[in-house]
Structures are given as structure tokens and as C-alpha cells.
Amino acid sequence: MSIFDFFRPRGQPSATAAKERLQILLAHERSTAAAPDYLPKLQREIIDLVTKYVQVADDKISVHYANAGSVSTLEVNVELPVMEPAAPMRRSFG
């Protein structure tokens, strides 16, 4: 053991650590690159359409895209507000 061994970091060699970091970065890039280009616009239009008919905050609507091989899925979740029941209508006969 030389005196220089005290100054070297123990653990993984820097090349191995750099390779692992690069693999993580590439996996993240591939996951975001798999989404189609039109997805942000589609998400905005879905949110606009839902809020046209129901008063819902934007953060209560989520749109997720997933791609698994040859199957792509678009999942839309909307948390609807609790609606008060409408008062019964009176009918008058006469």
C-alpha cells in the first residue's frame, strides 16, 4: 500500500460510476422521448373540454401517456366535485 492510496476515493472506479449515471440519464431521456409531440396540446385541449362542462380545477385533471411495446394508452383522470342534489320540482295540476 502506498501513501497515494490514502488520497484515492474508495469504492467504484470513476468510469463505472460515470457509466451508471449515463445509463440512468439515457433511460430518463427515452421515457420522455417516447411521448408523441402532440401530447401537451392534447392534454390542454382535454382539460379545456372538461372544464367547459364541469367546473373543475386544472390540478384535479391528469392525463398520462404510456407506451408498452405495440400498445399505447392515454389515461385521463378527472376528480369531479361533489354536486348538491337538485331540489325536487313541484308539479301543478290544474
Q: What is the pLDDT of residues 6-50, one digit of tens each?
A: 666 666 567 787 788 888 777 766 666 666 778 888 888 888 888
Q: Would you say residue 13 lies in a domain?
A: no
pLDDT of residue 33: 60
Task: Give percent of the chain above pLDDT 70.
Answer: 72
Tell me the residue ranges of DSSP E strands in 1-94: 61-68, 71-78
Q: Of 16-25, 48-57, 74-83, which range is least confident?
A: 16-25
CB within 8 Å of 80: residues ≥ 6 apart: 54, 56
In a domain, residue 87? The reply is: no
Q: Which domain holds residue 50?
A: 35-81
Instruction: Indicate the burial class of 61 (C-beta count within 10 angstroms; 0-12, 13-18, 19 or more).
Output: buried
In a domain, 62, yes or no: yes
- Name the domain count of the chain: 1
Kindly state whether residue 90 falls inside one of the protein's structural domains: no
